[in-house]
Every structure is written in C-alpha cells, then in structure tokens.
Amino acid sequence: MKPVTKLVVAILPVLFLIACGDKVVKPDEESAQGDAVIVDDGSGGVTTLDSSEAERLADELGAGERLQDAIEAGDGLEAGELADVIDMDAAIQDMKDLLAESKVYFDFDKSDIKDDYQDVLQALAEFLVANPEASLVIEGHTDERGTREYNIALGERRAHAVFQFLTLQGVGQDQVRTVSFGEERPDVEGHDESAWKWNRRAVFIYTE
C-alpha cells in the first residue's frame, strides 16, 4: 500500500466518527439545524437525534474497515476514486476542520472522560499511531465558575486526561501536547448551565 493510501485509509474512519458519532448541537447552531433535538442525559453527556442513521453507520465502522460504506454514506465520494482522487492536503484540511469541531465535554469540576467519547478518542489514537508525524495540541477549558487560577489547573487536568488516554493507546508523547485556557475562552457566552456545559471541554488543534 502506498503511504498516502495508508494515511487516507486511517484518516477516513476517524473523520467519519468525529463527524457523526460525536456530533453535538450548540445553542447558537440550533436555528441552522432546526430539527435537531438535544437530549441531555443529566450527566452532562449530550446526544443528538437528528443523525441516528449516521450514528448507526458510525457504530458499525471499525478503524480502517468498511471503508466503502463510510465513503458512500459520508461525503459523496465515489468509492473507486479513493486513492487517486483524495489528495493529502484536502484530507488533512478535513482532519483539521473536523478536529476543530470535535470536543470532549466534562461534568462540573471533573476531568474523567465519559464513555460517550471513548470511541472517538480510540479512533483518534489509532490515527496518531498510524501517522507518527502527525501531532495535536489538546486545549483544556472550564466554565466560568470558580477562581481563574484554579480553573487553569482544572483545564490542564482535562487536557491531560485526554493526553493520558491517547498515550496509553500507544500515541507518542511528543505527538500530543496540552494547553490550559482555564475559563478564559468560553465557547458559549452565558451565566448558567445551558452555557457552562459547552464550555467544560477539551478541544483538539492539529499541528504540522
């Protein structure tokens, strides 16, 4: 297999899982996706019901397998064109875009990774293991409650929890690095749980 094909084969299931499995709808996106229903399970974990079909497909996907299904169900690419049509730059750009949207959410004052995110992180780990030249910054964030410096520490704990998950799966320590922003960069402005739950998060920045 050519290196480029290997990368794409590794990348696509990750893209797909991130695109479908972990899709969440923030309040400011609701109008654009009017039929989305947000289900809050009370633990802070959120699932959307508008993409059940995609989720089912995503669940069936194994890393690097059923590639054809993924492409057909995913973004309209013709299966036969795979290795030749998709160029690396575009795939990496997609990776960046999707990583930018992919977030791991946490409960108040907690830094343990909930079950909802295990599959996505597993796929991400496999991608990073398969592509040791790829690297990520994990940003840890908190909601506005509590003191600023405490939140810098809490944000770091969250980023580190993701770091540990990935490195335990074999990702190189030099491939991932953590940064805490504490409460300084909220995703959603607001002073109650409807905003806070989106701000307690770890996010990924793809670096080259």
**Residue numbers at the binding site for other proteins (CB under 8 A):** 111, 137, 144-150, 152-154, 156-157, 159-161, 163-164, 178-182, 184-185, 191, 205
Q: Which residue's CB is nearer to other proteins, number 56 or number 148? A: 148
How, if at all, do strands 38-40 and 176-182 pair? unpaired
Q: Which residue's CB is nearer to other proteins, number 9 or number 150? A: 150
Query: Shortest approach of other proteins to residue 160 CB, angstroms?
Result: 3
Q: Which residue's CB is nearer to other proteins, number 16 or number 105? A: 105
Query: Shortest approach of other proteins to residue 146 CB, angstroms?
Result: 7
Q: Which residue's CB is nearer to other proteins, number 159 or number 171? A: 159
Structure tokens at 35: 């039929």
Query: Shortest approach of other proteins to residue 185 CB, angstroms?
Result: 7
Query: Shortest approach of other proteins to residue 206 CB, angstroms?
Result: 13
Q: Which residue's CB is nearer to other proteins, number 60 or number 184? A: 184
Of 111, 126, 142, residue with least CA distance to 175 = 126
Helices (H), the chain: 3-16, 52-60, 67-73, 82-85, 88-101, 118-130, 148-168, 193-199
What does the DSSP assignment read for 141-180?
E--S-S-HHHHHHHHHHHHHHHHHHHHHTT--TTTEEEEE
Angle between helices 88-101 and 3-16 (to 10 degrees): 30
